[in-house]
């Protein structure tokens, strides 16, 4: 019997060094994409997929992240008194019910796998999702909701898959899958950041996972891998060896790597152009900028 996925882990303990000095005082996950922080996009996607329990793996200096999902009574009262109901409604959507969010600390930076393992007591023996807020996915149907639908058919474990150029494969966990044009791909193995030219395919794992509780057991047993860290990829590879029940999933949508400055800027432009109230002014600005650069060349 396949159990419904209602819990999600959000690893948000990273220091965000690629965005210093901004992240000296502001958690990277609170940095805004248009007018919403990165973490809001991940939470909204999880809600749309039926997630009701949210587990944040945090670290020192993430207080602003916790405050973001709390109520702001004075601000709410002020907006209500001024009749700013549309803004108030947007604000209320960011509130989370008491007890819906749990926070656990990762007190050592030992990798993504270790961060997920920190949530083991809250996961127990249930399947769970993992969402990396750095990966923002624009899709008509949210990526995790697509995966939940596919998981209802397969069970096991499922990982979002994206094609990458061969020269970029060494930056990702790469899936070993048989040649296929389907959306659900049975995985034969998985390699974290393979050396150039050794990648088993061009399909990379990105930051959306549906995992069985057995993966938590593997995380408690695997030794440090690439970079001296506990790699989630290594635990998933062990699950493949034991049960052959891990699937890659080709999702519909566009993924933006908001963990990099270039990716964050690309996402800002794309999401800005998708907003009716911003698209005309922003597109005109971009056209003018391109024209000026071409003239200067």
Domain shared by 210 and 249, yes or no: yes
194 and 286 housed in the same domain: no
Asked whether residue 141 falls in the same domain as residue 275, the answer is no
Kindly tell me if the per-residue pLDDT of 282 is higher than 90: yes
**Are residues 211 and 245 located together in one domain of the fold?**
yes
Check: CB of residue 286 under 8 Å from CB of residue 294.
no
The chain-wide mean pLDDT, for the chain, equals: 87
Contact (CB, 8 A) for 111 and 118: no
In this prediction, residue 98 has a pLDDT band, given cuts at 50, 70 and 90, of low
What is the pLDDT averaged over residues 219-224?
A: 80
Count of Cβ atoms closer than 10 Å to residue 212 Cβ: 21
Residue 153 and residue 141 share a domain: yes
Token pair listed for 236:
């998933």
Select the more confidently predicted residue: 40 or 27.
40
Segment 259-279 shows an average pLDDT of: 93
Q: Is 94 left (phi over 0), alpha (psi -120 to 50) or beta?
A: alpha
DSSP class per residue in 252-285: SSEEEETTSHHHHHHHHHHHHHTSHHHHHHHHHH
Q: Tell me: do 182 and 297 sit in the same domain.
A: no
Backbone angles phi, psi at 105, to 5 degrees: -100, 135
Query: What per-residue confidence (pLDDT) applies to 191?
Result: 83
Indicate the pLDDT class of residue 123, thresholds 50, 70 and 90.
very high
Q: What is the rounded average pLDDT of the residues 114-140?
A: 93
- For the segment 55-61, the average pLDDT, to the nearest whole number, is 86
Residue 285: which of 267, 272, 271 has the closest Cα? Answer: 272
Residues 98 and 117 in one domain: yes
What band does 178 get if pLDDT is binned at 50, 70 and 90?
confident
The arithmetic mean of pLDDT across residues 220-238, rounded, is: 81
Range of the domain at 272: 261-297
pLDDT tens-digit profile of 247-258? 999 999 999 999
Is the residue at 270 inside a domain? yes
Contact 234, 113 (CB under 8 A): yes
Q: Is residue 1 part of a domain?
A: no
> Is 291 found in the same domain as 198?
no
Average pLDDT score over residue span 37-41: 91
CA-based torsion, 193, 196, 200, 203: positive or negative: positive
φ and ψ at 181, to 5 degrees?
A: -110, 5
- Domains of the chain: total: 2
By C-alpha distance, which of 72, 115, 56 is closest to 235?
Answer: 115
* 193 vs 89: CA distance, rounded Å: 43
Helix, strand, coil shares of the chain, percent, nearest 5, are 45, 20, 35
Q: Are residues 128 and 245 in the same domain?
A: yes
Identify the pLDDT of residue 46. 95
> 18 with 105, same domain?
yes
- Judge if 64 and 200 occupy the same domain: yes
The angle formed by the CA atoms of residues 35, 38 and 41, to the nearest 5 degrees, is 85
Q: Read off the pLDDT of residues 204-220 as tens digits, 9 standing for 90 and up.
A: 999 999 999 999 899 88
């Amino acid at each position: 019997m396949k159990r419904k996925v209602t819990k999600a882990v959000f690893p948000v303990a990273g220091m965000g060094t690629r965005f210093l000095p901004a992240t000296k005082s502001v958690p990277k996950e609170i940095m805004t994409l248009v007018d919403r922080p990165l973490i809001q996009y991940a939470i909204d996607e999880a809600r749309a997929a039926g997630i009701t329990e949210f587990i944040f793996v945090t670290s020192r200096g993430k207080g602003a992240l916790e405050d973001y999902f709390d109520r702001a009574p004075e601000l709410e009262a002020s907006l209500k008194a001024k009749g700013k109901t549309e803004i108030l409604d947007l604000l209320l959507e960011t509130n989370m019910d008491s007890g819906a969010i749990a926070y656990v600390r990762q007190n050592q930076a030992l990798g993504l796998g270790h961060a997920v393992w920190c949530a083991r007591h809250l996961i127990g023996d249930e399947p769970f999702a993992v969402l990396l807020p750095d990966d923002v996915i624009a899709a008509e149907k949210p990526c995790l909701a697509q995966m939940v639908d596919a998981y209802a058919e397969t069970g096991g474990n499922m990982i979002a898959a994206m094609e990458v150029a061969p020269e970029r494969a060494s930056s990702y966990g790469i899936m070993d899958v048989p040649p296929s044009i389907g959306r659900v791909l049975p995985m034969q193995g998985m390699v974290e950041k393979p050396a150039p030219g050794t990648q088993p395919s061009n399909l990379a794992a990105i930051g959306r996972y549906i995992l069985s509780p057995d993966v938590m057991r593997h995380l408690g047993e695997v030794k440090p891998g690439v970079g001296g860290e506990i790699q989630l990829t290594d635990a998933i590879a062990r699950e493949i060896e034991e049960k052959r029940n891990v699937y890659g999933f080709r999702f519909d949508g566009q993924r933006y790597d908001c963990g990099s400055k270039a990716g964050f800027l690309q996402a800002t432009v794309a999401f800005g152009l998708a907003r009716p109230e911003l698209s005309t002014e922003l597109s005109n600005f971009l056209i003018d900028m391109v024209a000026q650069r071409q003239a200067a060349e």
